[in-house]
Structure 1
């Protein structure tokens, strides 16, 4: 990778991905785009373009001027938001993906887009979920992700587009606060622990889901995109994860730093239903074998870093 366009650069992953890529490849070689101007001080006043990913003409115009060799397509609505407006979710998540893939095909670009554990469904094996397995999601978000995985494989097989992608679990970060995902409790709980010393979880106490700290997620994207393509038996939808946790486990870790922290529950049936349709713990061995995936953060280390960073913001 030498020159990179990022769509959805102000989203959950995009902000930190943009900063890391600029640090690694140079500010002038990374162009973030999104539907609104950045508010983050680290992005203000630096190269940035307004883009609705459904606008193919605008996407082509930006690429023509910037001349990238890689596009990282991060623009998408998240799981809970998709259920509130499934038609809009289809328009953005699938329409935007097709446009980005077409740009990659026409311009010979390397291509990355993330999938999610949301691509799995109730009939998927819950424990040690394989990379290739039953995928029958019951949410619009999940349908979008499965369709996206297949579409990226199609563009690789049919047109030779160098498509690559991972299935992310819940992602935890202190930089960008939650934006409509089922796993957002695992971010909110840290902020509320510092602000109020208590948290009410919308996910039930024994509901395990896979998670990763954002630094590991960003590193995974870059590592996969830099990997030797000859090693990749798969192209898209690599399972990646760092930990399988539930709200009680996070609370217990927080209490090592804030002993008086209180956790209670007010379960949201929509997000709880989505969570129960996903695996409890997935198998990331193919990512390890094919491109040396290796997360650095476990629950204990992540909790320490999260709490310290949020305290410093307060």
Structure 2
């Protein structure tokens, strides 16, 4: 990677990935693009462009102008928001990806495409979910993710585009605010615990899901993209996970540090239905074997770090 374009750069993953890449490759070599302007404290100084990924000509121009060799394509509507706007979700998630793949084909770029635990469905084995298994998602978000995996594989096989991806679990970030996902509770709960000592959770107490702390999510993407291609048997996309817990277990871990924290459950039927259709724990042995994936944060370490960082943010505000 020498010149990198990040679409969706102001989103949950993009805002942190941009900072890490600019620190590693230099600010001028990482071009951030998004359909909304960044906040004042966004990443390190460096190029930023407004971009709707459905505008293929604009995308192509940016890649050509900056001679990009790698694209981290992160622009998408997330699960809960996508269910309320399914046509728009298909347009952004699929037509945007197609534009990125076509641009990569023309300019010989490598592509990172984040898939999701949402690419699975209720017919998928929910415990120790295999790398290669039934994928019949019931949400438009999941449908776009499994379709994206297949489309990326197609461009690799037929056009030689170096496409790679991860099936992320729920992601927990101390930097970016929740963005409309069905696992947003695992971020919201920290703000509520510190500010109000109470949280109303939109998922049931026993909803177990795979999760990952954002530093691990960033490390996984960079490690995959820097792996020699001849080591990869799978490409789009690898199961990865770091921890698996329920809202009740997360609350209990927070309570070890904030003893008067309480939680109630006011279930959102839409997000509960989405979460219940996903696996409870994925098998990520393929990622561990093919590119030596190893997470650094377990539940306790993540909670400790999140509370410290969110406390600092709340003090500043």
TM-score, normalized by length of structure 1? 0.99
The 1-side partners of 2:200 and 2:248 are apart by 11
Partner of 1:173: 173
Partner of 2:70: 70
Partner of 1:146: 146
The 2-side partners of 1:60 and 1:279 are apart by 37
Q: Counterparts in 2 of 1:78-117, with a 5 A limit? A: 78-117=78-117
Partner of 2:291: 291
Partner of 2:276: 276
Deviation at 1:113, TM superposition (A): 0.7
Q: Counterparts in 2 of 1:202-213, with a 5 A limit? A: 202-213=202-213
The 2-side partners of 1:45 and 1:169 are apart by 30
Task: Indicate conservation of the 8 Å contact 2:172/2:214, yes or no.
Answer: yes
The 2-side partners of 1:132 and 1:171 are apart by 22
The 1-side partners of 2:43 and 2:215 are apart by 18
TM-score, normalized by length of structure 2? 0.98
**Matched residue SS, 2:192:** helix
Partner of 1:135: 135
Q: How many equivalent residue pairs?
A: 314
Deviation at 1:63, TM superposition (A): 1.1
Query: Judging changes above 3 Å, is the alpha-carbon distance between structure 1 residues 287 and 208 closer, same or farther for their aligned structure 2 residues?
Result: same
Q: Deviations over 1:181-231 (max 9, x none)?
A: 001000111111011101010000111000000000000000000001100
Partner of 1:185: 185
Q: RMSD across aligned C-alpha pairs, in angstroms? A: 0.9
Deviation at 1:126, TM superposition (A): 0.6
The 2-side partners of 1:55 and 1:77 are apart by 16
Deviation at 1:135, TM superposition (A): 0.5
Q: Counterparts in 2 of 1:221-260, with a 5 A limit? A: 221-260=221-260
Task: Indicate conservation of the 8 Å contact 1:38/1:44, yes or no.
Answer: no
Q: Counterparts in 2 of 1:22-101, with a 5 A limit? A: 22-43=22-43, 46-101=46-101
**Matched residue SS, 1:33:** strand
Runs of 4+ in 1 over 6 A off after TM superposition: none
The 1-side partners of 2:45 and 2:116 are apart by 32
The 1-side partners of 2:44 and 2:243 are apart by 34
Task: Indicate conservation of the 8 Å contact 2:127/2:282, yes or no.
Answer: yes
Task: Indicate conservation of the 8 Å contact 2:110/2:161, yes or no.
Answer: yes
Q: Which runs of 5+ in 1 are unaligned?
A: none
The 1-side partners of 2:152 and 2:245 are apart by 30
**Matched residue SS, 2:184:** helix
**Matched residue SS, 1:203:** coil
Q: Deviations over 1:89-121 (max 9, x none)?
A: 000000100000001111100111100000000
